Amino acid sequence: MGPCSRAALTIIYLSSPLAFWSRNSRFRGYSKMSFQTQLFCLLVMGFQGSGGWHVLTQAPETLAASRDSFVSITCRSSTEVGTSMAWYQQKPNEAPRLLIFGASARAAGTPSRFRGSGSGSDFSLTIHGVEAEDIGIYYCQQHFSWPPTATRPHTQIPCLGRGCRFSNQDTCFLQEATA
């Protein structure tokens, strides 16, 4: 289990009224209705918690693009997330940069050629007129429920035009060929 899943389980456990009640004998005087209410809350939290484990599928994994072309990346969630989807771009040796949030709202500094769309469980990021600076790795991330989940694998725009070659690394980076 990764650190995110441990944190989520801890939060669910600590916020569970039933778990709190059963470990503290001074609360055993609660009425039967209170216990039923607590059980109901626990069940609701359980459903919300399970809803938090959204599985995101992104396609394609690698995207060939040429300058000024139109590209589209899709992201599908295993459960409905409304419009709570964000898109990130990451360049080598840099932190991911937020491009789109709320499915279609551009973050500050995001060029207008980036457009997000979708709702429910199907989303897309399109780039209208790809530029050299758009080379990078793109992730979708749901922020509908805790923990926020992102895609792995992601989509990579490795280079523009022809002459791309594989660099046989664990992350399958592609590098622009020098001719």
| Residue 90 sits in the same domain as residue 155 | yes
Enclosing domain of residue 30: 3-51
Residue 63 confidence (pLDDT): 76
| Residue 39 sits in the same domain as residue 121 | no
**Consecutive sets of 10 residues in the chain, 179 residues long: mean pLDDT of each?**
30 30 38 45 40 71 83 91 92 91 96 96 94 89 76 59 39 31
Both structure tokens of 88: 């990130």
Q: What are the start-end ranges of the E strands in 20-161?
A: 56-59, 70-77, 85-90, 97-101, 105-106, 114-119, 122-128, 136-142, 149-150, 155-157
| pTM summary value | 0.59
Quickly tell me which residue has 């469980």 as its tokens.
121
Residue 12 confidence (pLDDT): 29
| Residue 74 sits in the same domain as residue 162 | yes
| Residue 44 sits in the same domain as residue 131 | no
Both structure tokens of 66: 């040429």
Total of domains in the chain? 2
| Residue 17 sits in the same domain as residue 44 | yes
| Residue 121 sits in the same domain as residue 35 | no
| Residue 67 sits in the same domain as residue 140 | yes
Of 51, 67, 87, the domain-final residue: 51
| Residue 100 sits in the same domain as residue 122 | yes
